[in-house]
Amino acid sequence: MSNLRGTAFEVRPLTAALGAEIHGLRLESVTDEEFAELRRLLLEHLVLFIPDQEGWSPEARTAFGRRLGELEVHPYLPHLDGHPEIQIIDSEQDGKIPIWHTDMTYAPNPPIGSILQIVRSPGTGGDTMWSNQYLAYEALSAPLRELLDGLTAVHAIHIPGLDSRAEHPVVRVHPETGRRSLFVNRAHTSHIVQLSRNESDALLQYLAEFSTSPQFTCRYRWRQGDVAIWDNRVTQHYAVDDYQQRRTGLRVVVLGDTPTGNEARWPRYEPKPGERYAPARINAKESY
């Protein structure tokens, strides 16, 4: 049980890596004390699940999100009528893209977090997984951590209506906890700026596999009305495409800050005369 005065909800950790269910809380009428405790728990567990929140009104949903920060109006996702900040995620309308990713790292200021509610569940399948990027970084050997702390990477997306790229540290420092975490992902990280194409591809492939190893993850089975809140700065997530019935969700995204870490320790890689250097184009959207 949470012991902060003014809160009486129960916290049930999902795994040792990350994730916790919160019981006895109504997001429709969350108090200041409850919100403060939720924010503390989010920094501790990285993703929070609040079951059975049917009836959460659009007004209360956006008000809750604004307590975390400014809300995003997504460039291509449909939104709830009259509420452009509430995105509709629909498995039958381009909403099924199973790949490990961190949302919108191709932006100069990626979101700090997301709030997603499943409003129509397929009944079977359709789980989402999250991975703790603190633990992934901390589990690497000291020499590899030292190398990664001096590198930056380009993140990009190239799809109709959205063409964006940004350069971020491969290891970012969380602005609230001060802890370091990996900050690369399969969906949006194009290449490491200081390495050759072959070196970059090999290292990113290794980091993508290692950072989503089972020991760093939790998996959540959705029920209709469930809500997830996650820290986008230090997690990746993966929407498992193992269902056939329609699934829909409502999502609010909190706009972000500038990822910070060590300055690059080496200059940008310059191809040798005659060397072809063409990082792969990134075309993935985002899933839930």
Active site residues: 101, 103, 237, 251
State whether residue 130 is helix, strand or coil.
Answer: strand
Residue 119, sorted as left (phi over 0), alpha (psi -120 to 50) or beta, turns out to be alpha
Distance in angstroms (rounded) separating the CA atoms of residues 236 and 265: 26
Query: What are residue 208's phi and psi, to 5 degrees?
Result: -60, -45
Q: Which residues contact 228 (CB under 8 A, 6 or more apart)?
A: 47, 48, 49, 50, 114, 115, 116, 117, 128, 220
Q: How far is Cα 267 from Cα 139, in angstroms, rounded to an integer?
A: 27
Structure tokens at 182: 């990996």
